[in-house]
Structure 1
Amino acid sequence: MKGSTRRVGARASLLDGVATAVLDARGTVLCWSREAAELLDRTAGEVCGHPVLRLLVDASEQEWRDQPVGAGVTAAGRALLRHRRGDVVEVVFRVLPLEARAEFLVLAAPVRLVSDGEQGAALLSALLAQDRIGISIHDIDLTVVRTNITPELFGGPALPPGGRLADVMSPQDAEAAEAALRRVLATGVPLVGHEQRMRSPQVPGRQWSFSLSAVRLEDAHGDPMGVAALVTDATAQQRARDHLQLRHEASARIGASLDVTRTAQDLADVLVPALGDLATVDLAEAVLEGDEPMKIPGAGQLHLRRAAVASAAGPWPAALLQVGAAIPRMPDMPVIQHLQRDRAVIIDPTAAADRHPELLRQFFPEHAHSVLAASLFARGLRLGGVVLWRTDRPEAFDEQDADLLVEIASRAALSVDNARRYTREHRAAVALQQRLLPRATTDTPAAQTVGAYRPAGGGAEISGDWFDVIPLPSLRTALVVGDVIGHGLHATATMGRLRTAVQTLADLELGPEELLAHLDDLVARLAAETDPGHRDTVGATCLYAVYDPITRHCTLASAGHPPPVLVRPDGTTQLIDISPGPPLGVGGLPFETTTLTLDPDSVLALYPDGLLHRHDHDPDVGLRHLADRLAAHCRPGRALDKIGSALLIDAADPAPRDDIALLLARTRALPPDATPAWEFPADPAVVADAREAATRQLADWGLAEAAFTTELVVSELVTNAIRYAGGPIGLRLIRDTTVLVCEVTDSSNTQPRLRRARTTDEGGRGLFLVAQLTARWGSRYGPSGKTIWAEQSILPA
């Protein structure tokens, strides 16, 4: 090395920088080492044979003169030496006499090198002496060379010199820690703040979390010679972080659903495996139904049912009580009393099993060594309880775990109670809506119908969807489907009012377009009665259709409602082309009718838009999907209820966000011989002809027992038509298996009225007699004139 002093860094060994020289008794340099030559940039030839005093500076030279080196004298201290360039080099020296020779060995090293070594030794001694930070120095094989880790440091096993991490740590933890240290040895990149878990077979049931930092140790040439590791106990901090994370996850996941069992399952899933290895949530049976739980103190029959379970190891053990099972009668135990006081309880399973061995099989998992239980209390109600077990995790539950479970259980109980209250309200609303809906199936001479209703899923409120099948006179049938704007009870109440209005208007035998016009006025009045801020939310859509099995004509009109889908007997589908009017409540625009002829065994599907908006909110996509599903399910001879069930199953995935109502009608047609008709002039003499024609037809049908009533009805209706309306007079009989209808048509628009005749009156008793002898009677208007009809029941042939 040329130039001034050799640069000595942290990598250098202390001995590598020591300069040596041999002096005689007079201080003459006899030998000069390579390190000495590098220190002062002076060769041995330049120094040997000359007094060493020539190398000293000022005061140091005077000091050597005052204290000459002699036999038996040992000197040590600091000195200032001259460098070839004139620089001053401060050294620490020591003079050692050589045995049996009048010569002296002088050792000198730069002050900085000595200070670094002293400071390093002092630092290492200080680190090894303290009792807060664990220090371990490992050689390149990771064998421990020096350490201060004793049982008193972290409460765990000691790490003796000559040992390895595997001697005190579990195989998995030791492998992870040594892998981290080997990376430091291989790369030289320091390891800082590595989270290291430690479990020790010497201290079963205990687990530590350490913060591990490590640096590589190198020799003067930069070659690795070991690794120094520093560890601090971060168990408390890690546990605090874990608990904080668990609180955050619980607040984010629990309560996202308004389903009671889903909320209970979320609670169990949050707790496993974060706090325990297995968990159960038991709820009061009343809570699952939406009602308030019974207040039953003490043990006995608790009226609880297992609502949710979770297991970190996989499926729930078959030997334990399963989801949905009722909690059996419990003996009187202190733990039951504690739980009923809104307290968390840490249970020793061995003690419980010794007192009540029958409980061990149903309630305690195999290898469970610690149990933690807490009640679900909310708004003064005990809704149930949650229980945690530890089987694989070695540490037992402590008070911190109990406090955390109480906190999470308290929040979860509010979510369970919210879901319970929603379940109660939703159940009441659904029950109200279902009570307002008609029977699911009807069977009339005009059509066989099946209606289906499915409330919205995913926690959404019910809406005002409805359907209806209204038998009309002369064996006709009205089909109705509607959808009220909005959700909740107000929509259900509005739906009930509209359905009642439709039934009332249908009894007037109005045409579909006229019925919707009256219904539109009603919705406008309902909106006017509503608070001004909510008037825009009052409205509905409706489709009204009338099917006549005699003519096979279906006349329908729409108020903003989706068009029906027709499935022909050959399986082909058709979207009915209608001109929809505005939704009900808009007003100011007319409604148009569409009439089509249906073949027998055709299936007409009526539905609200909730069935269409499931498909990316695109009605066209929804219509195509519905038509495809109808074509697939409407096979010849397949029952309508099975078709409806299949369509609802398709609609249930994913769970709909809106109610779904579906009305399927399979049409029928009466044969021509079941509807004979005659026409007579307005002559009183034809009354006898009309009676004779009716009697003859009844005889042909084998209904002679109905001849007396029918003759009377025909006589009275034809006579009134001749007297008050004029000709021509039409007479038609309509026969079904259980109903016989008599219709008389005239050209008058006068409304017939039933009145009570006085004893002195010669007339006015005809319609009264008709009303008494028949099941029902009425009249309807046509394009020209009116039709009076009367129905009577007949026994099947």
Structure 2
Amino acid sequence: MSDDHASGLSFGTLAAAVLDDQGRVRWCSRAAADLVGRSTGAVRGRPVRELLAEMPARPGGAAADQAGPSREIRPATGRARLRHSSGDTVDVTFQAMPMPDGLLVLAAPTRDVTEREQGVSVLHALFSQDRVGIAVQDADLTIARTNVTPTMFGGPAVPPGTRLLEVMDTEDARALEIALRQVLATGAPLVGWQRWMHSPLLGGREFAFSLSAFRMEDALGRPAGVLSAFSDTTEQQLARRHLDLLHEATARIGGSLDVRRTAQELAERDDLDIDDGQRRLMNTLAECGRPGQPLHDTDRAIRTDLGGRPPRDDIALLLARTRALPAESTASWELPADPAAVADAREKAARQLAVWGLDELSFITELVVSELVTNAIRYAGAPIVLRLIRGDVLVCEVSDPSNTHPRLRRAHSNDEGGRGLFLIAQLTSRWGSRYGRRGKTIWAEQPLAAPAAPAA
């Protein structure tokens, strides 16, 4: 056992004894006597060999010499087995240091030493990495140690002695302090605490972070501080905001983009009835929406036809050029909300790809089908519809009756699930969702291989 590890032990569990040059115990601490289940008076004066269940081994494996001054406790560091008064043995790790007329021996139960060494290794691993911020705060929530460097969050390093109010705005600091004091008071860990915050160290820039905190205790089990792990989640939160905005826009716009409502708005502008407005719109579309006509020209013509008066409400008009596909280019199946249907869905998709001569897309398509159908069964229920569309690209769609917005996230290494949409996003060229009156559809695209060039 090294000096660093020995000094890291709690003084409450560290046993000490002084041996004379004949190997007798001249003095021992209360902790040393407890290791062998005896009083200090019963231990003092005994030859140390009587307290050993077996002699300590030298580094080469041979037993220590039994002759000479205090040879029973050589080598200077190692492990030994003590004989307890109950008849049991106690495995200890020791360090022996020479004195003018004997040895000073420090020892502790090997289990405690191993636990402390593991703790030191864990702390070293945490504080030496720069992907996750680590902070140790004392019982007053003053930062005692942290691994935060200028390269981690774009601000200066945080020195020991720093308070929360020095690294974040007052409102944010108070909110975090309340959460951490709850950890200190109850011992219940804080896991995945999310918050947007401002920091004076970053010029007032707003950023998002996720924090988990755990109470630290001293050798007597009393609260000693808080260990926190935190990471910058600004990019993930901005992406989530964007997806939520798209979801909200889809929900609001999807129910109002129809010709009749747009025509009604046109009629209101010019004090016309709905039929006149609808005819006016249809005439403009018929005149400007010819094949090959750019859609932006059609849009310009419709807006010109609206006149110069401001609308009474927002108008949204969606123009899209559709292209009919032959019936043999699509295939769909209705599936039950039964986990057994997942394998059946994969087989149906693989067979259809073989019919279309797209066997090379089978592996990724089966994975997409498996993930989307599994999610639909787990979170939505029947009816579930699987559809494959072969056009310029291969589209795989799964529809279900739920309106729950799918979220793309990274699963942790110990999570059993949560990787579905992430895998789909990595393996396909595009993916997305759309919403209807009876639920949602999640789709994913794969490019079709370009046809081989004819031989020269």
Matched residue, 1:50: 46
Matched residue, 2:324: none
CA contact (8 A) 2:193 2:212 kept: yes
Matched residue, 1:252: 251
Matched residue, 1:130: 129
Tell me the distance in 2 between the aligned counterparts of 1:79 and 1:143. 41
Give the AA of the match of 2:21: A
CA contact (8 A) 2:82 2:90 kept: yes
- Structure 1 residues 76, 377: CA separation in 2 closer, same or farther (over 3 Å shift)? same
- Structure 1 residues 258, 22: CA separation in 2 closer, same or farther (over 3 Å shift)? closer
Aligned-pair CA distance for 1:259: 9.8
- Structure 1 residues 302, 185: CA separation in 2 closer, same or farther (over 3 Å shift)? farther
CA contact (8 A) 1:40 1:83 kept: yes
Aligned-pair CA distance for 1:286: 8.3
Q: For 2:310, what is the secondary structure of its paired residue? A: strand
- Structure 1 residues 41, 131: CA separation in 2 closer, same or farther (over 3 Å shift)? same
CA contact (8 A) 2:70 2:102 kept: no
Matched residue, 2:20: 24
CA contact (8 A) 1:197 1:208 kept: yes
Aligned-pair CA distance for 1:200: 1.7
CA contact (8 A) 2:28 2:43 kept: yes
Tell me the distance in 1 between the aligned counterparts of 2:313 and 2:9. 67
Q: What are the equivalent positions in structure 2 for 1:441-452 lying under 5 Å apart?
A: none
Matched residue, 1:82: 83
- Structure 1 residues 294, 83: CA separation in 2 closer, same or farther (over 3 Å shift)? closer
Matched residue, 1:91: 92
Tell me the distance in 1 between the aligned counterparts of 2:113 and 2:257. 74
Tell me the distance in 1 between the aligned counterparts of 2:174 and 2:21. 62
Matched residue, 1:60: 56
CA contact (8 A) 1:143 1:164 kept: yes
CA contact (8 A) 1:185 1:226 kept: yes
Tell me the distance in 2 between the aligned counterparts of 1:303 and 1:294. 15
Tell me the distance in 2 between the aligned counterparts of 1:222 and 1:13. 15
Tell me the distance in 1 between the aligned counterparts of 2:92 and 2:68. 18
- Structure 1 residues 221, 107: CA separation in 2 closer, same or farther (over 3 Å shift)? same
Tell me the distance in 1 between the aligned counterparts of 2:300 and 2:268. 12
Tell me the distance in 1 between the aligned counterparts of 2:256 and 2:162. 55
Give the AA of the match of 1:144: I
CA contact (8 A) 1:217 1:225 kept: yes
Q: What are the equivalent positions in structure 2 for 1:337-376 lying under 5 Å apart?
A: none
Tell me the distance in 1 between the aligned counterparts of 2:205 and 2:317. 30
Matched residue, 1:140: 139
Tell me the distance in 2 between the aligned counterparts of 1:216 and 1:67. 50
Q: What are the equivalent positions in structure 2 for 1:107-118 lying under 5 Å apart?
A: 107-118=106-117
Q: For 1:49, what is the secondary structure of its paired residue? A: coil
Q: What are the equivalent positions in structure 2 for 1:251-650 lying under 5 Å apart?
A: 251-257=250-256, 288=269, 290=277, 291=281, 295=300, 303=308, 305=310, 378-379=319-320
Aligned-pair CA distance for 1:137: 0.5
Aligned-pair CA distance for 1:117: 0.8
- Structure 1 residues 259, 21: CA separation in 2 closer, same or farther (over 3 Å shift)? same
Aligned-pair CA distance for 1:78: 1.4
Aligned-pair CA distance for 1:294: 7.2
Matched residue, 1:36: 32
CA contact (8 A) 1:194 1:213 kept: yes
CA contact (8 A) 1:53 1:64 kept: no
Tell me the distance in 2 between the aligned counterparts of 1:66 and 1:307. 106
Q: For 2:117, what is the secondary structure of its paired residue? A: helix
Tell me the distance in 2 between the aligned counterparts of 1:150 and 1:67. 55
CA contact (8 A) 2:154 2:202 kept: no
Q: For 2:221, what is the secondary structure of its paired residue? A: coil
C-alpha distance after superposition, 1:625-675 (max 9, x if no partner): xxxxxxxxxxxxxxxxxxxxxxxxxxxxxxxxxxxxxxxxxxxxxxxxxxx
Q: For 1:175, what is the secondary structure of its paired residue? A: helix
In structure 2, stretches of 5+ residues that fail to align are 1-7, 58-62, 271-276, 285-297, 322-433, 436-456
Tell me the distance in 1 between the aligned counterparts of 2:75 and 2:116. 23
CA contact (8 A) 1:285 1:304 kept: no
CA contact (8 A) 2:269 2:309 kept: no
Name which one, 1 or 2, has greater alpha-carbon Rg: 1
Aligned-pair CA distance for 1:285: 7.4
Aligned-pair CA distance for 1:17: 0.9
C-alpha distance after superposition, 1:212-256 (max 9, x if no partner): 110101111211110000112222332333223222222223344
Aligned-pair CA distance for 1:197: 1.8
Aligned-pair CA distance for 1:45: 2.1
Tell me the distance in 2 between the aligned counterparts of 1:155 and 1:306. 47
Give the AA of the match of 1:222: G
- Structure 1 residues 287, 107: CA separation in 2 closer, same or farther (over 3 Å shift)? farther
CA contact (8 A) 1:90 1:110 kept: yes
Q: For 1:212, what is the secondary structure of its paired residue? A: strand
Q: For 2:172, what is the secondary structure of its paired residue? A: helix
Q: For 2:176, what is the secondary structure of its paired residue? A: helix
CA contact (8 A) 1:14 1:113 kept: no
Q: For 2:23, what is the secondary structure of its paired residue? A: coil
Q: What are the equivalent positions in structure 2 for 1:159-238 lying under 5 Å apart?
A: 159-204=158-203, 206-238=205-237
Q: Identity rate of aligned residues, in percent?
A: 48
- Structure 1 residues 13, 107: CA separation in 2 closer, same or farther (over 3 Å shift)? closer
Give the AA of the match of 1:149: V
C-alpha distance after superposition, 1:251-278 (max 9, x if no partner): 2233445899x99xxxxxxxxxxxxxxx
Tell me the distance in 2 between the aligned counterparts of 1:287 and 1:295. 20
Aligned-pair CA distance for 1:176: 1.4
Tell me the distance in 2 between the aligned counterparts of 1:218 and 1:378. 65
Tell me the distance in 1 between the aligned counterparts of 2:145 and 2:309. 60
Q: For 1:65, what is the secondary structure of its paired residue? A: coil
Aligned-pair CA distance for 1:288: 4.8
- Structure 1 residues 258, 378: CA separation in 2 closer, same or farther (over 3 Å shift)? closer
C-alpha distance after superposition, 1:749-788 (max 9, x if no partner): xxxxxxxxxxxxxxxxxxxxxxxxxxxxxxxxxxxxxxxx
Give the AA of the match of 2:300: K
C-alpha distance after superposition, 1:457-497 (max 9, x if no partner): xxxxxxxxxxxxxxxxxxxxxxxxxxxxxxxxxxxxxxxxx
Tell me the distance in 1 between the aligned counterparts of 2:120 and 2:10. 11
Tell me the distance in 1 between the aligned counterparts of 2:211 and 2:115. 26
TM-score (norm 1): 0.32
C-alpha distance after superposition, 1:104-139 (max 9, x if no partner): 211111111111111101100110011111100001
In structure 1, stretches of 5+ residues that fail to align are 1-11, 264-283, 310-323, 325-374, 381-410, 413-797
Matched residue, 2:427: none
Q: CA RMSD in A?
A: 3.8
TM-score (norm 2): 0.54
CA contact (8 A) 1:285 1:303 kept: no
Q: For 1:31, what is the secondary structure of its paired residue? A: strand
C-alpha distance after superposition, 1:26-58 (max 9, x if no partner): 111111211011111021222211211111223
Q: For 2:174, what is the secondary structure of its paired residue? A: helix
Tell me the distance in 2 between the aligned counterparts of 1:157 and 1:188. 31
Matched residue, 2:118: 119
Tell me the distance in 2 between the aligned counterparts of 1:307 and 1:174. 46
- Structure 1 residues 286, 166: CA separation in 2 closer, same or farther (over 3 Å shift)? farther
Give the AA of the match of 1:76: T
- Structure 1 residues 205, 145: CA separation in 2 closer, same or farther (over 3 Å shift)? closer
